[in-house]
């Protein structure tokens, strides 16, 4: 084996054996490593076009990570740096949370009040082309990179949507995305229903959320609350726990289980229900993921809320962003969420108590929002 491939062998051993080159002497594993080196050598010698071996290795790293689950991925130094702004609530782009499904880029949710949502992108859409570039076969982070660009520039997306035979075409202008976590208003014929739309679980979501609810509680006239988590792709676990705790007197909120002891934990509510037992309806859809599912699932298990809408996304895992020596990073799944009932959210999501599918002319928070309208009627009946 040539010297360049000896480094590859060492790399693979480090990845799979955690740095201990002699921890496993399986002949099959040695054969696979030899095969990997042979394939790379054949590519170098025989492939129709000359390839950059560094790019090939990046693809190999991505292949390893994406074979684990749809959420683990490699980020180049440039992409890793740009991704750091997202958790702080402001970043450039379209406003789409995406994942992978069977090698295809899937929209987890369009973020509320962003170019993607306004253009009509929906949770569950599959992105097949970006600016005439075929997306299938590319990594999640490669797709993210293609969607990023100068503010004000436009991007063309070709979408496949379940139930629609022909592909859909969208032209969307990139903007600075400012994620406003909370939007609140009073609804109902008697103006006695508190409505709070939670768009994400970022650094200050719990403070904004609790502030809105406490302001409404001062009026003494509200009969209950509608918490809207539709198209909320999730965010920080700590925020999900804090906001869920606000509605519970006691009991478990969520548990996480991982290989490390430090990643296996249980989180419990502290005494005190912030709205003193008033009824709660939680709206969810296919774009409600991760932290949204923790909130909805915990309140459902404790029979503290009625869950209404459509089945949630099913992202029940925790990713840690781990910096690498080259300035890049990897997003790696380190544990899974479990609801108080012991059920995992992964792949199955949270099922609503009352299933209300989107109407034909459905539009969030409009007169055609049949899910929200149904929730309002429940309070008024």
Instruction: State yes or no: pLDDT of 121 exceeds 80.
Output: yes
Residues with active-site annotation: 290, 301, 315
Each residue's pLDDT tens digit, 266-293: 999 999 999 999 999 999 999 999 999 9
Which comes out higher in pLDDT, residue 142 or 298? 298
What SS3 string covers 88-125?
HCEEEECCEEEEEECCEEEEEEECCCCHHHHHCCCCCC
Q: Are 149 and 181 in contact, with CB atoms under 8 Å apart?
A: no
Instruction: State yes or no: pLDDT of 25 exceeds 80.
Output: no
How is residue 292 written in tokens?
Answer: 């949204």
Predicted local distance difference test score (pLDDT) of residue 82: 66
Given CA atoms 118, 86, 157, 168 in this order, what sign does their dihedral have?
negative
How is residue 246 written in tokens?
Answer: 């606000």
What SS3 string covers 184-219?
EEEECCCCCEEEEEECCECCCHHHHHHHHHHHHHCC
Distance (Å, rounded) from C-alpha 180 to C-alpha 197? 10
CA torsion, points 333, 81, 327, 58, in degrees to nearest 10? 60
At 342, the pLDDT band (50, 70, 90 cuts) reads very high
Q: Domain 74-178 maps to which CATH number in 2.30.42.10, 2.60.120.20, 3.20.19.10, 3.30.70.20?
A: 2.30.42.10
Q: Are 370 and 302 in contact, with CB atoms under 8 Å apart?
A: no
CATH code at 182-318+331-380: 3.90.226.10
Q: Report, as an integer, the average pLDDT of 8-25.
A: 48
Each residue's pLDDT tens digit, 173-203: 998 887 788 999 999 888 999 999 999 998 8
């Amino acid at each position: 084996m040539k010297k360049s491939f000896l480094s590859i062998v060492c790399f693979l051993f480090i990845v799979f054996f955690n740095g201990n080159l002699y921890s496993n002497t399986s002949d099959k594993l040695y054969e696979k490593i030899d095969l990997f080196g042979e394939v790379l050598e054949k590519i170098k010698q025989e492939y129709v076009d000359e390839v950059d071996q560094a790019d090939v290795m990046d693809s190999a790293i991505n292949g390893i990570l994406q074979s684990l689950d749809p959420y683990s991925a490699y980020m180049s130094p440039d992409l890793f740096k740009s991704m750091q702004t997202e958790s702080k609530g402001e970043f450039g782009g379209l406003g789409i949370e995406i994942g992978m499904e069977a090698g295809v880029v899937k929209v987890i949710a369009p973020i509320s009040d962003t170019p993607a949502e306004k253009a009509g992108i929906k949770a569950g859409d599959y992105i097949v082309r970006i600016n005439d570039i075929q997306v299938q076969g590319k990594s999640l982070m490669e797709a993210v990179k293609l969607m990023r660009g100068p503010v004000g520039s436009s991007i063309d997306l070709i979408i496949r949507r379940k139930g629609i035979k022909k592909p859909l075409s969208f032209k969307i202008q990139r903007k600075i995305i400012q994620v406003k976590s909370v939007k609140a208003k009073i609804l109902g014929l008697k103006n006695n229903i508190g409505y709070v739309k939670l768009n994400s679980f970022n650094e200050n979501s719990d403070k904004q959320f609790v502030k809105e609810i406490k302001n409404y509680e001062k009026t003494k006239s509200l009969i209950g609350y509608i918490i809207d988590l539709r198209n909320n792709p999730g965010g920080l676990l700590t925020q999900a726990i804090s906001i869920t705790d606000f509605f519970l007197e006691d009991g478990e909120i969520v548990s996480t289980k991982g290989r490390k002891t430090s990643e296996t934990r249980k989180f419990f509510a502290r005494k005190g229900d912030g709205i003193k037992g008033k009824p709660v309806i939680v709206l969810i859809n296919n774009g409600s993921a991760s932290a949204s599912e923790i909130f909805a699932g915990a309140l459902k298990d404790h029979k503290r809320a009625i869950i209404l809408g459509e089945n949630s996304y099913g992202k029940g895992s925790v990713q840690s962003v781990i910096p690498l020596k080259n300035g890049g990073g990897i997003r790696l799944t380190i544990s899974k969420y479990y609801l108080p009932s012991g059920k995992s959210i992964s792949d199955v999501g949270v099922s609503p108590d009352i299933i209300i599918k989107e109407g034909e002319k459905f539009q969030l928070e409009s007169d055609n929002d049949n899910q929200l309208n149904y929730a309002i009627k429940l309070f008024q009946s």
